[in-house]
Amino acid sequence: MKDRLWACWRWLEERYYRVPAIPRNLGVTALFLWEAYYASGILIGHTGGENNSALIFVLAVALISLLTTGYFYGIVASIVGALFINIYFMEPYEVFSLSRTGYPVAMLSMLTVSCMVCALTARVKKQATEAVRREKNTKALYEQNEKLNAEKAAIQLQSERIAIRESILRAVSHDLRTPLTSISGAASVLLESPDISEKNVSMLSDIKQDADSLIVMVENLLSVTRVRDGTMSLKMREELLEEVAGDALLTTRRRFPDCKVELELTEDILYLPMDPLLIRQVMVNLLENAIRHSGDQEHIKMRLYRRDDWAVAEVEDQGRGLSPEVLQAVRAGETMPLNGDATRGMGIGLSVCQSIIKAHGGFFAAENRRTGGAVFRFGLPAEGESAI
């Protein structure tokens, strides 16, 4: 029974608050004033001139103040109640008169008490509303705090996973670098021996080329893990970008003597702060990617020039171009999920380039040429300090 009554009350309350505010408040005010008038009429029929109609109207004002919003309706009800008492429930009846002894003071007191009750009721309602609001805010803050704690735990777990992965990667890379260097060196020594047959020379050349490729990949892995976890310190010094590009070109030509790679310079002198070894590694990676993955080994070109406050280097080819996945990954600064031997190491090399250029405060971009082929471009701050 209790549950039914409570459900009925909730239903009535829901329907009550669906009515617009002004009609609802006017209806409540008129209803309780009429009930006070009706009750006072019954009371005066039993008590005669001595009645407590003022108390009934004060009760009505209190209920009106409780069920309406603001002070307006309670104060209006106080004034109307005072007029009703004067006209209908005090001698002479049905006439507005202030001639009765003590009546003005009594009516003024009644009006004052009614207004005070109205104000206090409105204040209590406001405090209750504020308490509900604070409870909702506290609940929202608690839920937000729980959500932030969950996100913090997830981020911490992800950071720990990344740290473990990079530690394992760095350890494996260190262990691989020494034997790969030995294999490459041994293959070079054997290639210089005059007693090696042509078939063995071809096999040794393949061994040396694969070993050199793996060495580059290992160096890239070490570089990207050091840059990302902050253990690689940039050894910045003023350097000519042209000289760094020349060293990168010589390294590339030694690794790929049959490929044609050109260097195009402008009249600008690009003298700026950088870590020359890392920038050289970026250039070598871009040139090697163009040679290995573009399908073009005859029209690879590196171009250096100044654009506004940037020293820009471009590596372009006239090969097959870049897939949308690679372009999207470069724009997002992510490692490309590439498959197959034809693209082996490309994602790692580009990831290294992006990390190194970002550490120098520069930009890194890639696009396809309209006439065919791809362009990789990076820029370094040419004036002022780089953002490291």
What CA–CA distance (Å, rounded) separates 111 from 101?
Answer: 17
Which fold does the domain 234-381 belong to in CATH?
A: Heat Shock Protein 90 (3.30.565)
CB 297 within 8 A of CB 257: no
The pLDDT profile of the chain, 388 residues, written as one tens digit per residue, is 777 877 776 777 677 667 787 888 888 888 888 988 888 888 777 766 556 777 788 888 888 877 787 778 878 887 888 788 777 777 777 777 766 666 677 677 767 776 777 777 777 878 888 898 999 999 999 999 999 999 998 888 887 877 776 676 666 666 676 777 777 777 777 777 777 777 777 787 778 777 776 777 677 666 666 666 555 667 888 999 999 999 999 888 887 888 888 899 888 888 999 988 889 888 988 998 888 888 777 889 999 999 888 999 999 998 888 888 888 878 776 555 444 333 444 566 787 788 888 888 899 999 998 888 899 999 999 865 443 3
pLDDT at 388: 37
What are the sequence ranges of the domains in the chain? 9-232, 234-381
200 HSE (CA, 13 A, CB side):
11
Look at residue 177 in the predicted model and tell me its pLDDT: 67
Q: Which residue from 234, 128, 221, 111 is spatially nearest to 176, judged by alpha carbons?
A: 221
Closest CA relative to residue 359, chosen from 380, 330, 329, 334: 380
Q: Alpha helices, DSSP H only, in 2-69? A: 2-18, 21-47, 53-67
Q: What is the pLDDT of residue 100?
A: 64
Q: Are 231 and 223 in contact (CB under 8 A)?
A: no
Q: Which two tokens stand for residue 154?
A: 């997830």
Q: So what's the pLDDT on residue 311?
A: 93
